[in-house]
Homo-oligomer: A and B are copies of this chain.
Amino acid sequence: MNEIKNRIWLEKVIRTALEEDLGAGDLTTNAIIEHEMNGQAVLMTRETIVLAGLPVFSRVFELLDPDVRFDYDFQDGMRVPAGGRICVVAGKLSAILEAERTALNFAQRMSGIATLTRQYVDQIGSLKTKIIDTRKTAPGLRLLDKYAVVMGGGHNHRMGLFDGILIKDNHIAAAGSIKKAVLLAKEKAPHTIKVEVEVEDLTGLDEAIQAGADMVLLDNMSADLIQKAVDLAGKRVLLEASGGIKLENIQEIAKAGVDLISVGALTHSARAVDLSLEVITIP
C-alpha cells in the first residue's frame, strides 16, 4: 500500500468527497469567476510537518480540470519546515477554487497523521521496535489514514478483519480458554495469516505460546511487566504492546523490548496540520 497507485478505490473516495462539497456547483465561484480565467495556487504549510497526501491533493484538482499542472517541491514522507512551499498548482481558476477545500481536507488530515506518527517514531530512535497503527480510523478513510502512518515512519497493523487474526477477550471467552481459541484459529484460518492473541498477564502469554500463537498482544501492561513478557517469550513469538501508549511513555516501553507498539491515537485523534493554499489570479 506504500504507493497510492491503485486508482480504483482512491477515485471513489475522492469523488465522494468532491460531491459532498460541490453538490450541484459552487454558487460563489459561478457568480464571480469568469469560466476562462486561469490561476495559480501555492500550497504552503504554516507549521513544520511530515507531508502525506500530496497525490490525493493533486488528484482532486485533476478531476475538475484535467489540464491542471503541478510543480512539486516536496514529496510524501518528507519533513517540510514551517513556511515551506509544498507545491504550485496551475490551471483554471474556477476549478482551483472549487477543489481547494476538499483537497486541503485530505492533505491536512493525512499530514496530521504522518506528523503525529513521526513524533512517536522519533521517540523510539534507533530501537528496533515498530510503531504500528490500529483499526481506529475515520470511517471510509482507512486506507488513506494507514498510508499516512507509513509516510510518518510507522507501520501498518492489519487493514481490516479480513487480513489478520487478532483473538480478543471476547473470542477467548466464547472459546473457553486462550488455548482453545488459538487452536481453533490455527485450524480454521487461512495458512497465510499469522495468529495473534491478546493477553492480560504472563500466564496468558505462556498459554498463548504453548498453543502455538504467532504473535501476542500485551494489553495495557506496565513497562515492567512488558519486560518480563519479553523475557518469557524469548523471541518465540512477536510481541505487541498496546493500550495507554503516549509520547511520554513509548520510549520506556520500546526499551522493554517488544517488537511492535500500536497507537490508536495516530489515526483517531491526530489534529489537522495548518496548510494554506494561496491563490493568485492570472489576468
Known contacts A13-B139, A109-B268, A140-B140; A31/B173 CB under 8 A: no
Q: Shortest Cβ distance from A69 into chain B, in angstroms? A: 17
Establish whether residues A27 and B193, one from each chain, have CB atoms under 8 Å apart when the complex forms. Answer: yes
Q: How many copies does the complex hold?
A: 6
Establish whether residues B130 and A191, one from each chain, have CB atoms under 8 Å apart when the complex forms. Answer: yes
Known contacts A7-B63, A190-B155; A16/B97 CB under 8 A: no
Known contacts A139-B17, A238-B191; A184/B31 CB under 8 A: yes
Question: Interface digits, A32-76 against B, CB 8 Å rule (1 contact, 0 not)?
Answer: 111101010000000000000000000000011000000000000
Q: Which residues of B contact A135 (CB under 8 A)?
A: 21, 101, 105
Establish whether residues A6 and B136, one from each chain, have CB atoms under 8 Å apart when the complex forms. Answer: no
Establish whether residues B93 and A174, one from each chain, have CB atoms under 8 Å apart when the complex forms. Answer: yes
Question: Could you tell me which A residues sit within 8 Å of B by CB distance?
Answer: 1-3, 5-9, 13-35, 37, 39, 63-64, 93-95, 97-98, 101-102, 104-106, 108-109, 112, 130, 132, 135-143, 155-168, 170-171, 173-175, 181, 184-185, 187-194, 196, 215, 238, 259-260, 264-265, 268-269, 271-272, 279, 281
